[in-house]
Structure 1
Amino acid sequence: MSEEQNQQLQNKLHKDLIEAAKTAKSIGYNPTKFNQMIATEGGYKIAKKLIHSPTTSTGFEKLWELNRLDLSTEAVLLREEFRPLFTKEELEIAKTRLGEFGYEIEDISSALPPLKPSGREREFKGYEDHLKAKVIFEYLVNGLTHRELDERVLGLDMSKSKGLQSMNILHFLGMKADYKGIFKGEVLKEVISIFTEEGKDFDQSVRLLKLLDDDDLKNTINSDLEAEQVEEGHRLEGNIKYYYGKRYERDSDNRRLAIKKHGLNCYACGFNFEQVYGERGKDFIEVHHIKPLSTFKKAVEINPEKDLVPLCANCHRMVHRKKDKVLSIEELKEILLKQKE
């Protein structure tokens, strides 16, 4: 559901709540305070507030006495058309509250088609997580065909692959044809939110899609890189001067993917900057090339999972302290263990 559609649905809910209040007045209950609240904050916000209130409202009890709980906010928001506006938990609260007063609501089922996992994991395991995440997103939101996904996302010749690689990735997760374009026009965060609410069956998809939801981490990394460039004299009087090696080692996408894969704890000593420095250290860690950049004769493609590991500043410096003897992570770990003996 797009933002525009969401707003239209909120407007419809607002109008329906006002109509319910008018009907209530016509049968003997005038919800004056409720009308004032709606006029001030809007029907959607008031519905949210009432749902999260620990007790039933006076109006709810009055409508129960009049045998018209169908006019309650809980009953209105549980109408099929308004359910997308609320979380599964909120809908369950409304259903339970009505049920306790003898007003039954049909089962609240998922609006998404059931997943039908294929169990075939060869193709799924054959691609890096960030590529699988892009396949999922482009299929759900932009409605690309399997052949288009193979070509545009996986970089394959779709006339030869025939879309089988992307199809098998999606089918492993249980996403068949009824998921194609199901979230057309939606933003990534909304897709993740919906899948999260649906429960553990979507955990794998949520984990992958979160790899694309990295705005905060990207901003943090770019800020870190800029600070390092200034510190090392790579930015003088506003003119950016890049050194090939540094730029390559600190490519922000490679660093982001390495952090997403390996986490923010130092691979050698376990140090975590946020645990020690609080907010100042959030999302910070240095990233180390397992194979020294100085050994590269030409540009090569970096695999963030296999070629990069997170190291704290101390361990990173110790690894590189002697230019003719760069330590492996295992060698550094052995040094640390000996010092603890």
Structure 2
Amino acid sequence: MKAFPPLQQSSRKREFSLYTDAERSSVVYHWLFTSNGFRELDTLCLNLDGAHSHGWQSMGIAHYLGLNEAHHNFFDQCPMSYALSLLLAQSDQDPAYALIYCYLRDWHQSHPQEEEVSVLLAKEHDPDYQTQQVEASYWVLHTLVNSSDEQQIDDQLRALATLDPKKHAVKLGKHHYHVSDAALKEAVKCLYDFQCQICQTRVYRPGWLATLPRSAQWHFLNADAHHILPLYQEGPDSLDNLLCLCPTCHRKFHTEQLHLIRHNQNLGCEDVILGRQWQVTEKHPIILHP
């Protein structure tokens, strides 16, 4: 199995944000499996006039993912199962590999070929390999926190509190970034290092080590993001309306066993069935809507 060339990601997300997952999948597939250049990909994958767009749109998508000339036609004549296996083997190192894997898998599933990919390899129902979730993890790690000092990570994550709700965009430094709903949820989980704000529980995956850098540990942790005021009740999709919870506490909020209470400046939680109360960990502003 030949080594996949190292990725060289760009933080520029403008072109990537303009297109659907299906269009991104098409760009990734054709860049890795064919000899078509970016001008051709603008036409073939994005329905643009490649001669006019100069290939800049598909190039922007590829470069955001870290794909460059070294990856062009890399999987020529290779079976899809080989490509997916190679990328999956490296997905623990960098979520970019997992995202490229997701796009190739999605393209394959929407363009049935003679080759069948096993259910185990496709991971279609694995929540850790849902395309939107992987894209959110990738954006948080490579764009939001990137090379930030450990002490600056919380500030970068809390910066999403300034999100423009109408444009769903945030200004970081000199640049504006579109922030998906999934990325906002991922950010609140990363802010608390996937530790439940109510009971302090963490859910671990194999591979977690306490010696790993903080952001590297996130890949091996699991938690839920909970809207305090539900979206169906017109709750805002904003950082101040989100909690990081373990699956058990998340379910208890939805069954109304748990309720949040504010006393002066302290945020607490009450178990209305068992009559218990305790303080909530609060690293970001949280608003309790009436």
Please classify the TM superposition score into its range, dividing by the shorter chain length: 0.3 to 0.5
Structure with the largest fraction of strand: 2
Larger radius of gyration, structure 1 or 2? 1
TM-score after normalising by structure 2: 0.37
Structure with the largest fraction of helix: 1
TM-score after normalising by structure 1: 0.33
